[in-house]
Amino acid sequence: MKTLIKKISSGSIKQAVKLLKNEEIIGMPTETVYGLGANCFSDKAVLNTFKVKNRQPDNPLIVHISPDYDITNLVTEVNETAKKLINAFWPGPMTLVFKSKQNVSKYVSRGLDTIAIRMPSKPCTIKLLKACPFPISAPSANTSSRPSPTDAKSVYEDLNGKIPLILDGGKCDVGIESTVIDVTTLVPIILRPGIITQEDIDRVVGLKNYDVENIHYNRSPGTKYKHYAPKCDMIVVDYNSKVNICNVYDNYKKEGKKPVILCLKEEKKLYKGKNKFILGKDIDDIIKNFFSALRKCEKKYDLILFKGLERVGKGKSLMNRASKSCGGNII
């Protein structure tokens, strides 16, 4: 199959909707990462999503809705906690898990009695969702275990020949996937951290949430799998580690390896004469460019070194991804 990349426009959106109606799946931009979209009511299309990205069969999908969609079509109850979070953060990089009416394809929730729903904020994604007569289920548009794609080229890299169309909406603003929050109880549970942090959530809900580190994996099947890994080796030097990242670099260099250090612009001078990849100027840039940096560096180097962030606020969310990318290789 030939995979076309088309700049997102009213013409390409029309073509995308036509493909989705025909139970085909497409690459689509969102503000977080690119998604692999399908008609959430079509067994054929949803199953194909799993096949195309080689996804574990017990890992459920997020359903994406437009701002004018009535979620009570899909969920049994929207409690006070959910209402507060929706008012504060939708449209935006937040996914809520509700009790499901079980009327979408049975392959969306993979046997769970819940459904994950997100209302993206990227204007061109909203246009697509408004033009589409049904909500769109979409996992991140990478091959399973690879870093999530934050531009159309990265989707093409993983899925060329497997899908007919990728809508190109430019680089994603956020860069990591949405915060996933279980709101089936009044006390929310963060199943996957994201740019909307634990502190943001507590402030809005007025109750202290539980986060995923304290609960059993079964609540969020996706969190247990190998994830976000570059093709080369990766080591994270923990933020409070005594290990000097330059020594690690030099040791690998001596072994004949080609290491690279991911760093901020202001840290450039600390790594004179060493291979570096500049992530940007602040934590938002680190988050935005992290996955694309892994994809770029794996092509040129055989070891990626990253100085970890303190696990608070957005730093905690980035470290959730970074620790999986390096397969727990944190020193």
Residues that bind Mg ion (CB under 5 A): 140
Cα Rg for the chain, rounded, in angstroms? 20
* Closer CB to ligand TXA, 75 or 260, in the complex: 75
CB of 152 to ligand TXA, least distance (A): 13
From the list 211, 207, 202, the residue with the least C-alpha distance to 187 is 207
Cβ atoms of 183 and 83 closer than 8 Å? no
The reply on whether position 95 binds ligand TXA by CB under 6 A is yes
Q: Which stretch binds ligand TXA (CB under 6 A): 16-24, 39-47, 177-185, 272-280?
A: 177-185
Of 118, 276, 295, 314, the one binding ligand TXA by CB under 6 A? 118
Interface size with ligand TXA, residues (CB under 6 A): 29
CA 304/CA 317 separation, integer angstroms: 19
Q: Is 136 exposed, middle or buried (0-12, 13-18, 19+ CB in 10 A)?
A: buried
One-letter amino acid for residue 128 of the chain: L
How many CB atoms are closer than 10 A to CB 247?
10
CB of 11 to ligand TXA, least distance (A): 23
What tokens appear for 282 in the block? Answer: 């602040």
What tokens appear for 219 in the block? Answer: 């609540």
CB of 54 to ligand TXA, least distance (A): 13
Per-residue binding string, ligand TXA, 211-230, x by CB under 6 A, is --------xxxxx-------
* CB-based closest residue to ligand TXA: 222
Alpha helices, DSSP H, located in 185-276? 198-205, 245-254
Residues 1-40 that bind ligand TXA (CB under 6 A): 30, 32-33, 35
Return the one option of Mg ion, ligand TXA, none that residue 62 interacts with (CB less than 5 to 8 A, by type). ligand TXA
* Closer CB to Mg ion, 30 or 140, in the complex: 140
The reply on whether position 137 binds ligand TXA by CB under 6 A is no
How many CB atoms are closer than 10 A to CB 69?
17
One-letter amino acid for residue 216 of the chain: H
CB of 194 to Mg ion, least distance (A): 12
Angle 252-257-258 from CA coordinates, rounded to 5°: 105
Cβ atoms of 237 and 246 closer than 8 Å? no
CB of 53 to Mg ion, least distance (A): 8
CA 266/CA 263 separation, integer angstroms: 8
CB of 283 to ligand TXA, least distance (A): 18
CA 30/CA 35 separation, integer angstroms: 7
* Closer CB to ligand TXA, 177 or 233, in the complex: 177
CA 147/CA 2 separation, integer angstroms: 23
Q: Which residues contact 293 (CB under 8 A, 6 or more apart)?
A: 262, 277, 279
Return the one option of ligand TXA, Mg ion, none that residue 112 interacts with (CB less than 5 to 8 A, by type). ligand TXA
* Closer CB to Mg ion, 155 or 305, in the complex: 155
Q: Is 121 helix (H, G, I), strand (E, B) or coil?
A: coil
* Closer CB to Mg ion, 139 or 259, in the complex: 139
Of 140, 154, 323, 325, the one binding ligand TXA by CB under 6 A? 140
CB of 188 to ligand TXA, least distance (A): 13
User: What residues make contact with ligand TXA under the rule CB under 6 A?
Assistant: 30, 32-33, 35, 59-62, 95, 97, 109, 112, 114-116, 118, 138-140, 177-178, 180, 191-192, 219-223
